[in-house]
Amino acid sequence: MSGIFENLGHRLILASSSPRRRELLSHLGYPFSVEVPDIEERRRDGEAAEAYVQRNAREKALAVLAKHPPAEASLVIAADTIGVVDDHILEKPLDPEDAKRMLASMSGRSHDVLTGLVVASGSPKSAHVAEIVVRTSVFFKNLSSREIDFYVGTGEPLDKAGAYGIQGIGGFMVEKIQGSYSNVVGLPLVELIDLLASFTPSPPKS
Protein backbone atom coordinates (compact mmCIF):
# COMPACT_ATOMS: atom_id res chain seq x y z
CA MET A 1 0.00 0.00 0.00
CA SER A 2 1.17 3.51 -0.73
CA GLY A 3 0.83 6.82 1.03
CA ILE A 4 1.88 8.26 4.36
CA PHE A 5 0.86 5.17 6.33
CA GLU A 6 2.34 2.22 4.49
CA ASN A 7 2.31 0.11 7.66
CA LEU A 8 -1.11 1.10 8.96
CA GLY A 9 -2.30 -2.49 8.63
CA HIS A 10 -6.00 -1.64 8.63
CA ARG A 11 -8.80 -1.41 6.13
CA LEU A 12 -9.63 2.30 6.10
CA ILE A 13 -13.27 3.44 5.94
CA LEU A 14 -14.54 7.01 5.71
CA ALA A 15 -17.90 7.33 7.46
CA SER A 16 -19.23 10.25 5.44
CA SER A 17 -21.28 11.18 2.39
CA SER A 18 -19.25 14.38 1.89
CA PRO A 19 -17.35 14.59 -1.42
CA ARG A 20 -15.14 17.24 0.17
CA ARG A 21 -14.00 14.89 2.93
CA ARG A 22 -13.47 12.16 0.37
CA GLU A 23 -11.23 14.44 -1.69
CA LEU A 24 -9.22 15.58 1.32
CA LEU A 25 -8.66 12.03 2.57
CA SER A 26 -7.51 10.94 -0.89
CA HIS A 27 -4.60 13.39 -0.58
CA LEU A 28 -2.99 11.08 2.01
CA GLY A 29 -2.54 8.41 -0.64
CA TYR A 30 -3.91 5.51 1.41
CA PRO A 31 -6.75 3.47 -0.14
CA PHE A 32 -10.12 3.72 1.58
CA SER A 33 -13.77 2.92 1.09
CA VAL A 34 -16.77 5.11 1.90
CA GLU A 35 -19.80 4.19 3.99
CA VAL A 36 -22.57 6.58 5.02
CA PRO A 37 -23.59 6.27 8.68
CA ASP A 38 -27.28 6.18 9.54
CA ILE A 39 -27.57 8.31 12.66
CA GLU A 40 -29.74 11.19 13.79
CA GLU A 41 -27.76 14.41 14.21
CA ARG A 42 -29.67 16.39 16.80
CA ARG A 43 -28.26 18.63 19.47
CA ARG A 44 -29.26 17.77 23.02
CA ASP A 45 -30.64 20.40 25.37
CA GLY A 46 -27.81 22.39 26.88
CA GLU A 47 -25.15 20.52 24.91
CA ALA A 48 -22.06 22.61 24.23
CA ALA A 49 -20.90 22.98 20.63
CA GLU A 50 -17.66 21.04 21.21
CA ALA A 51 -19.50 18.18 22.90
CA TYR A 52 -22.10 18.13 20.12
CA VAL A 53 -19.66 17.73 17.22
CA GLN A 54 -17.56 15.23 19.15
CA ARG A 55 -20.59 13.07 19.98
CA ASN A 56 -21.87 13.20 16.39
CA ALA A 57 -18.50 12.14 15.02
CA ARG A 58 -18.19 9.33 17.56
CA GLU A 59 -21.69 8.03 16.82
CA LYS A 60 -20.99 8.09 13.08
CA ALA A 61 -17.78 6.12 13.54
CA LEU A 62 -19.33 3.51 15.83
CA ALA A 63 -22.39 3.09 13.58
CA VAL A 64 -20.15 2.14 10.66
CA LEU A 65 -17.77 0.11 12.83
CA ALA A 66 -20.74 -2.02 13.99
CA LYS A 67 -21.12 -3.32 10.43
CA HIS A 68 -17.63 -4.85 10.44
CA PRO A 69 -16.33 -7.66 12.68
CA PRO A 70 -13.09 -6.87 14.55
CA ALA A 71 -11.34 -9.57 12.53
CA GLU A 72 -11.54 -7.29 9.48
CA ALA A 73 -9.20 -4.84 11.21
CA SER A 74 -11.30 -1.93 9.98
CA LEU A 75 -10.32 1.61 10.90
CA VAL A 76 -13.19 4.10 10.65
CA ILE A 77 -12.75 7.86 10.21
CA ALA A 78 -15.71 10.12 11.01
CA ALA A 79 -16.11 13.87 11.31
CA ASP A 80 -18.80 16.42 12.05
CA THR A 81 -18.43 20.14 11.25
CA ILE A 82 -20.42 23.18 12.39
CA GLY A 83 -20.04 26.94 12.49
CA VAL A 84 -20.42 28.91 15.72
CA VAL A 85 -21.14 32.62 16.04
CA ASP A 86 -22.24 34.31 19.28
CA ASP A 87 -22.63 30.83 20.81
CA HIS A 88 -25.19 29.98 18.11
CA ILE A 89 -24.55 26.77 16.19
CA LEU A 90 -24.73 27.10 12.41
CA GLU A 91 -25.43 23.79 10.68
CA LYS A 92 -26.76 23.30 7.16
CA PRO A 93 -29.37 25.96 6.32
CA LEU A 94 -33.00 24.90 6.16
CA ASP A 95 -33.69 26.96 3.03
CA PRO A 96 -32.31 29.99 1.09
CA GLU A 97 -33.69 32.48 3.61
CA ASP A 98 -32.00 30.62 6.45
CA ALA A 99 -28.76 30.70 4.48
CA LYS A 100 -29.06 34.46 4.03
CA ARG A 101 -29.65 34.90 7.77
CA MET A 102 -26.55 32.87 8.60
CA LEU A 103 -24.35 34.76 6.16
CA ALA A 104 -25.58 38.12 7.44
CA SER A 105 -24.75 37.06 11.01
CA MET A 106 -21.13 36.37 9.99
CA SER A 107 -20.67 39.48 7.81
CA GLY A 108 -17.76 41.74 8.77
CA ARG A 109 -16.64 39.64 11.72
CA SER A 110 -15.15 36.32 12.77
CA HIS A 111 -16.81 33.02 13.53
CA ASP A 112 -15.46 29.64 14.54
CA VAL A 113 -15.58 26.38 12.61
CA LEU A 114 -15.51 23.28 14.81
CA THR A 115 -14.93 19.74 13.61
CA GLY A 116 -15.29 16.70 15.79
CA LEU A 117 -12.87 14.11 14.43
CA VAL A 118 -12.85 10.43 15.42
CA VAL A 119 -10.83 7.40 14.37
CA ALA A 120 -12.09 4.07 15.74
CA SER A 121 -11.29 0.38 15.47
CA GLY A 122 -12.39 -2.86 17.12
CA SER A 123 -16.01 -3.47 18.13
CA PRO A 124 -18.47 -0.76 19.20
CA LYS A 125 -18.62 -2.10 22.77
CA SER A 126 -14.85 -2.19 23.20
CA ALA A 127 -13.61 0.17 20.52
CA HIS A 128 -10.25 1.85 20.45
CA VAL A 129 -11.26 5.47 19.85
CA ALA A 130 -8.96 8.42 19.20
CA GLU A 131 -10.74 11.77 18.98
CA ILE A 132 -10.26 15.51 18.98
CA VAL A 133 -12.22 18.72 18.36
CA VAL A 134 -10.47 21.15 16.00
CA ARG A 135 -11.30 24.87 15.95
CA THR A 136 -10.53 27.41 13.23
CA SER A 137 -11.41 31.11 13.30
CA VAL A 138 -12.71 32.51 9.99
CA PHE A 139 -12.97 36.22 9.24
CA PHE A 140 -15.57 37.43 6.72
CA LYS A 141 -15.51 40.66 4.75
CA ASN A 142 -18.44 43.02 5.06
CA LEU A 143 -21.10 41.50 2.85
CA SER A 144 -23.64 43.59 1.00
CA SER A 145 -27.15 42.25 0.59
CA ARG A 146 -26.40 41.95 -3.13
CA GLU A 147 -23.39 39.72 -2.43
CA ILE A 148 -25.41 37.55 -0.07
CA ASP A 149 -28.24 37.23 -2.59
CA PHE A 150 -25.76 36.36 -5.33
CA TYR A 151 -24.05 33.68 -3.29
CA VAL A 152 -27.25 32.06 -2.06
CA GLY A 153 -28.50 32.13 -5.64
CA THR A 154 -25.62 29.88 -6.70
CA GLY A 155 -27.08 27.11 -4.52
CA GLU A 156 -23.67 26.35 -3.01
CA PRO A 157 -24.55 27.29 0.60
CA LEU A 158 -27.57 25.01 0.90
CA ASP A 159 -25.75 21.76 1.68
CA LYS A 160 -22.93 23.18 3.78
CA ALA A 161 -22.60 23.76 7.52
CA GLY A 162 -22.52 27.50 8.14
CA ALA A 163 -23.99 28.12 4.68
CA TYR A 164 -20.72 28.52 2.78
CA GLY A 165 -17.89 26.57 1.20
CA ILE A 166 -14.47 28.14 1.59
CA GLN A 167 -13.08 25.91 -1.17
CA GLY A 168 -15.72 27.03 -3.67
CA ILE A 169 -17.46 30.26 -4.65
CA GLY A 170 -17.79 31.15 -0.97
CA GLY A 171 -14.07 31.78 -0.79
CA PHE A 172 -14.68 35.35 -1.99
CA MET A 173 -16.18 36.19 1.43
CA VAL A 174 -13.20 35.06 3.52
CA GLU A 175 -10.61 37.71 4.43
CA LYS A 176 -8.42 35.41 6.50
CA ILE A 177 -8.41 32.37 8.76
CA GLN A 178 -6.58 31.44 11.93
CA GLY A 179 -6.00 27.71 12.11
CA SER A 180 -6.52 24.76 9.80
CA TYR A 181 -7.87 25.38 6.30
CA SER A 182 -8.77 21.71 5.81
CA ASN A 183 -10.76 21.89 9.04
CA VAL A 184 -13.00 24.54 7.48
CA VAL A 185 -13.51 22.27 4.46
CA GLY A 186 -14.53 19.48 6.84
CA LEU A 187 -11.57 17.17 7.55
CA PRO A 188 -8.56 18.55 9.47
CA LEU A 189 -5.66 16.67 7.93
CA VAL A 190 -2.87 17.53 10.39
CA GLU A 191 -4.92 16.23 13.30
CA LEU A 192 -6.16 13.24 11.31
CA ILE A 193 -2.58 12.15 10.57
CA ASP A 194 -1.78 12.37 14.28
CA LEU A 195 -4.81 10.27 15.20
CA LEU A 196 -4.02 7.66 12.54
CA ALA A 197 -0.45 7.48 13.79
CA SER A 198 -1.74 6.18 17.13
CA PHE A 199 -2.99 3.09 15.26
CA THR A 200 0.24 2.54 13.32
CA PRO A 201 2.44 -0.29 14.65
CA SER A 202 5.81 0.86 15.92
CA PRO A 203 8.75 -0.30 13.81
CA PRO A 204 10.62 -3.27 15.28
CA LYS A 205 13.71 -2.45 17.34
CA SER A 206 17.00 -3.37 15.76
Q: Please identify every residue annotated as catalytic.
A: 80
Q: Are the C-beta atoms of residues 184 and 69 closer than 8 Å to each other?
A: no
Closest CA to 121 of 182, 159, 171, 74: 74
CA distance 13 to 7: 16
Closest CA to 192 of 11, 2, 27, 17: 27
The burial of 87, by beta-carbon neighbours within 10 Å (0-12 exposed, 13-18 middle, 19 or more buried), is given as exposed
Which amino acid makes up residue 173? M
Per-residue b or e along 27-42, where b marks 16 or more CB atoms closer than 10 Å to that residue's CB: ebebebeebebebeee
The CA angle 191-188-71, to the nearest 5 degrees, is: 65
CA distance 173 to 146: 13
Provide the H-helix boundaries in 87-188: 96-106, 145-153, 181-185
